[in-house]
Structure 1
């Protein structure tokens, strides 16, 4: 068999060489041929230059492609999966928070017949507040979405060729890989590992990015928020009718009293806020339909490698990496 390791990179110049050494050392201990497929997600530092050097240094086992701009990690993972030629494919980050020494364990479990071998990060060392919020989020999201999302499970996993082909057959533009991995199913096994600290550089996941990612998880695999709008509207209409009956009854019994100015303002503000939330939910779904209808490619590639003998730096062997856009009928660009 052949093993492919797909590594999305965004501004990882400071750690890339150390990562390559570590993962190559782990792979060299295995009795299987392998390839490293790096995807530069439009980095603004020297990541691309490092990838060119690695492709020249390790010909035959290292390939790369570079996007024309930053398209996001989801697009980078998709590009790497399309470029990978192995019978099994491992997805991992370049910051060494995914320990390369776990590759051997993944491969052992894969050879037992599992199509997905998933590394689950423990919460050891995380702040208590972050751990509590994470658990609360996953508990809430799993009551909504049509697939099961597990706390601590991310992109670090091994996929069989069958699972990779299933993922590539899903042409949707708005991709939420955590949900897609769960949606395709197949035989899956999970094992725990202790998360490692980032070796260098800064995390790309800020608070705003995490919030947006959480919203994507809530909306990508269900339309229940829209159903909630119907139930909320019916509940408010019922409450309004009961309140009106109570006001009429109070007026009949005790006469008309001073108008409830505070109550009226509170109701108007509350209903207005609820309407804005519901309009926002509807807008999110419509926006996703809008992007799907455009059928734009998930990414554009400006450069790919390995670098051919005698060619200027950066002129890669495009044919070695296969199609560079998406799996739909959109024009392919390389």
Structure 2
């Protein structure tokens, strides 16, 4: 079996050499033919220079470098498009995805699974982050058309037919967690202990996490739009009932001076609700806008894809 390892990289100069050493050791121990595809997502810290140096000394390494930062989703898509293996493993370069789990994935792959998924525990995470993550997954599984599992990310082995299925999904706004679940196929999940970043700095700020979570919530359903309809109908019924109540009170008790506090609160509340609903509708319209442009997901600045690589573990080299 030929194996392809796809590794998105963004400003990983402090850890990429250690990662390559560790992952190369694990891949060589499997005895399988393999290639490693590093996708440099527009790094600005010299990561590309290190990748070029690694590729010069290791014929199993291929690299792509984007013209700018297009995001991890685009980096994973580029790696999948250029992967030649019968199975593809996606993993991060920060060593939070333990390389020693590669052999475990291959063992489970032999049993016929199309997706072998590593699920990290939340040991060591702050309690607030754990609670918010559980709440998010509960919400998205209530609303979304696909089921997402807490702790499951991009670290997984994917069979060739599953890769081909993913490549058929050409939408511009990609949410890979949902896409992995949407394609189906036989899957198995195993757990591993949470590992801290080697350089100790996470690039996922609260704003980025919130936007990523919002993408997941909107990418696989139109329930927020339907919720807007239901909330609008409910408020209309409340307004009609209130109007009837005002008429009845005026007819039985006479007209009284209304309270301005109640009026201002109602205007502010309904105005805020309208803005939220307009924002939800705007999100969907914005996604349609980007889809109709049909721009490429990424642009490649530099690559060694035309080179011939000898893949350790194979009987001979092959041209890629």
- Smaller-chain TM-score bracket: over 0.9
Residue 69 of structure 1 aligns to a residue whose secondary structure is coil
Matched, 1:53 2:74: no
Give 1:41's aligned residue.
41
**Superposition map of 1:63-82 within 5 A:** 63-82=62-81
What is aligned with 2:7? Answer: 7
- Kept after mapping to 2: 8 A contact 1:56/1:306: no
Task: Find the counterpart in structure 2 of residue 130 from structure 1.
Answer: 129
Aligned pair 1:273/2:278, yes or no? no
- Matching residue of 1:186: 185
* Distance in 2 of aligned mates of 1:198 and 1:307: 33
The C-alpha deviation readout for 1:251-276, integer Å capped at 9, x for no partner, is: 12211112121111111111111110
Structure 1 alignment gaps of length 5 or more: 310-319, 322-334
Q: Which residue of 1 aligns with 2:171?
A: 172
> Aligned pair count?
310
Higher mean Cα deviation, 46-55 or 198-207?
198-207
Of stretches 257-266 and 220-229 in structure 1, the one that deviates more from structure 2 is: 257-266
Q: What do the CA deviations read for 1:175-209 (whole angstroms, capped 9, x no partner)?
A: 00000000000000000000111111621100100
Q: Which runs of 5+ in 2 are unaligned?
A: 309-318
- Residues 55 and 306 in structure 1, CA contact (< 8 A), matched pair in contact too: no
Matched position secondary structure for 2:113: coil
Question: Kindly tell me: are residues 118 and 89 of structure 1, through their superposed partners in 2, closer, same or farther at Cα, counting changes over 3 Å?
Answer: same
Contact 1:14 1:201 in 2 (8 A): no
| 2:224 corresponds to | 225
User: Partner residue of 1:195?
Assistant: 194
- Taking the aligned partners of 2:96 and 2:70, their CA distance within structure 1 comes to 22
1:145 maps onto 2:144 in alignment: yes
| SS of alignment partner, residue 4 of structure 1 | strand
For 1:192-246, what per-residue CA distance to the aligned partner results, in whole angstroms no more than 9, with x for missing partners? 0001111116211001000000100100000111111110110000000111111
Asked if 1:238 corresponds to 2:237, the answer is: yes
- The match for 1:16 is 16
Distance 2:177 2:215 in 1: 10
Q: Hey, what does 1:26 align to over in structure 2? A: 26
Q: TM-score, normalised by structure 1?
A: 0.91
Residue matched to 1:264: 263
Aligned to 2:96: 97
1-side partners of 2:172 and 2:293: how far apart?
9
Separation in structure 2 between the aligned mates of residue 69 and residue 178 of structure 1, nearest angstrom = 23
**Whole-Å separation in 1 of the counterparts to 2:284 and 2:306:** 43
**Following the alignment from structure 1 to structure 2, what is the Cα–Cα distance between the partners of residues 279 and 147?**
25
Q: Aligned partners of 1:133, 1:201: CA distance in 2, in Å?
A: 22
| Partner SS for 1:13 | coil
Q: Are 1:55 and 1:307, in contact at CA under 8 Å, matched by a contact in 2?
A: no
| Corresponding residue number in structure 2 for 1:331 | none
Question: Are 1:215 and 2:219 matched, yes or no?
Answer: no
Residue in 2 aligned with 1:332?
none
Query: Matched residues in 2 for 1:285 and 1:136: separation?
Result: 23
Q: Secondary structure at the match of 1:39?
A: strand
CA contact under 8 A between 1:56 and 1:307: conserved in structure 2?
Answer: no
Do 1:115 and 1:159's aligned partners in 2 also have CA atoms closer than 8 Å?
yes
Distance 1:202 1:307, change over 3 A: farther
